[in-house]
Amino acid sequence: MPRYKLSIEYDGTDFVGWQRQANGASIQEAVEAAIASTCGIEAAIRGAGRTDAGVHALGQVAHVDLDRDWNGGVLRDALNAHLRPRRIAILRAEPVADDFDARFSAVQRHYLYRIVNRRAPLTVEAGRAWLVKRRLDAGGMHDAAQILVGRHDFSTFRDAECQAACPVRTLDRLDVARNDELIEVHASARSFLHHQVRSMVGSLEQVGAGKWTRADLEAALEARDRARCGVVAPAAGLYLVGVDYGKGEESAPCDK
């Protein structure tokens, strides 16, 4: 059966998340239904990242096995026709090798978190960013964020219900930058724990607001205690922006 890689963009506002669930509509379910309508078969897809309810994607990746060969452009357009009017789009559909796995072949995942830092309420950004009204020091947030870069036990910054067997991850990038009233946090790693990005962003917001110092963030990391985490940033500001594939360096088991 030929295997296809799907690059997917979606607004997660109206979904319970990527993964199929009994309590509401999921991205996975919608794409699988579009495949069934297009190809006439029931096919399960595997995604690179299991985004939560309300989380968006500009570059989610999934793979699917179909029963015949398709032209990538034709498959993309047919799936998009069946996905309307949902705010989900297949950006690309392309054939890949049989051993390609959207989740396990990934060597890097990239997330963006968007904070709008102003007093006025959100309008066009509602549901797509975190509104923080108190002035934040983005420079101080970036400086403190570098404490988290590298290989650490991130127990403080993972959800209490996280199912990962190991809390150790290698964070390759955590940058914070301001552009007028918009503050962007960029995070890159081979893999992340459940709620790790939102937990780190929420703690960095405490630094930016002057409630935490750089030393406080470091102490929270070293405590390896979920109770020491700051607020968890809302889902609406988080985006899966890209997934890298290719021959990466050998990673430690916890990072896979």
Q: CA-based angle 137:236:29, to the nearest 5?
A: 155
Q: Which of 11, 52, 65, 159 is catalytic?
A: 52
Using the CB atoms, write b or e for 190-199: b if 16+ within 10 Å. bbbbbbbbbb
C-beta separation of 151 from 169 below 8 A = yes
CA separation for the pair 36, 145 (Å, rounded): 44
Q: How far apart are CA 60 and CA 235, in angstroms?
A: 16
**Separation CA 185–CA 237 (nearest Å):** 10
Nearest to 54 by CA among 21, 27, 89, 86: 27
Catalytic, 52? Answer yes
Residue type, 62: A
DSSP for 113-165? EEEEESSSPPSTTTTTSEEE-S---HHHHHHHHTTT-EEEE-GGGS-TT---S
**Nearest-angstrom CA–CA distance, 96 and 208:** 44
Q: How many residues would you count in the chain? A: 256
Decide the pairing of beta strands 168-179 and 56-65: unpaired
Active site members: 52
